[in-house]
Amino acid sequence: VILTGTNNDGARGLAKIKARGGLTVVEDPYEAAFPEMPRAAIESSEVDWIVTLDELAPLLNRLATSTVRQYAN
């Protein structure tokens, strides 16, 4: 999960997670107080979900209570 931030270090980590089959979630940069990090993550890798903060908790709950196969590519 990548949230608001001013650097691109999160984008590198997100790309590594995605390369190993992980699911990725990024805060909507239009909502973020500092959009640089979410924007860098979106531009550098294929993100599974771009969500607002209001959407984040329900999504994480759904992912935590679902089987991995439901979301595997």
Convert the pLDDT of each residue in 4-63 to its tens digit. 888 878 888 888 998 898 999 999 999 999 999 999 999 988 999 999 999 999 999 999
pLDDT confidence tier of residue 68, bands split at 50, 70 and 90: low
Confidence (pLDDT) at 59: 95
pTM to 2 decimal places: 0.83
The full set of domain ranges for the chain reads: 9-70
DSSP-derived secondary structure letter, 19: H
Of 16, 72, 21, 71, the residue nearest 44 (C-alpha):
16
